[in-house]
């Protein structure tokens, strides 16, 4: 049963600009270390940073909480299976929030171009 859906779209230039202005300070606030390493492995990391930003916004929308007291940036992580398929790892308050709401699975899809990044999350429970 689907209990939540979230979607987000962001301009890559917006994230690129913030990274250029605030650098590691911004990245360490929004992304977990493994996410930063993954994105920085690309010649043009901004679309990958933007996709992960969009994913975290979409996750928070699927929960209906937004990003704040109940769910913070560091409570969510985007990882990839060997096949390339992205998936969500929840930490701390994210794990607790999912458990308090009956558990389930967060399904994630990402897409990005030179100019835009988007993410869709579907939260289902058995």
Indicate which residues carry an active-site annotation: 61, 112
Distances (CA, A) of 24 to 18, 102, 122: 10, 36, 30
The answer to whether the CB of 76 falls within 8 A of the CB of 88 is yes
Any idea of the CA torsion for 36, 124, 58, 73, to the nearest 10 degrees? Answer: -50
CA 40 to chain centre: 16
The answer to whether the CB of 57 falls within 8 A of the CB of 64 is no
Give the pair of three-digit tokens for residue 81: 């299976």
């Amino acid at each position: 049963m689907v209990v939540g859906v979230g979607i987000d779209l962001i301009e890559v230039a917006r994230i690129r600009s913030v990274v250029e202005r605030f650098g590691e300070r911004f990245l360490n606030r929004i992304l977990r270390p493994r996410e930063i390493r993954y994105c920085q492995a690309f010649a043009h990391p901004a679309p990958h940073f933007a996709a992960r930003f969009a994913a975290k916004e979409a996750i928070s929308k699927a929960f209906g909480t937004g990003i704040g007291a109940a769910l913070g940036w560091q409570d969510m992580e985007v990882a990839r299976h060997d096949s390339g398929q992205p998936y969500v790892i929840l930490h701390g308050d994210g794990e607790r929030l999912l458990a308090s709401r009956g558990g389930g699975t967060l399904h994630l899809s990402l897409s990005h171009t030179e100019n835009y990044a988007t993410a869709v999350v579907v939260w289902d429970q058995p």
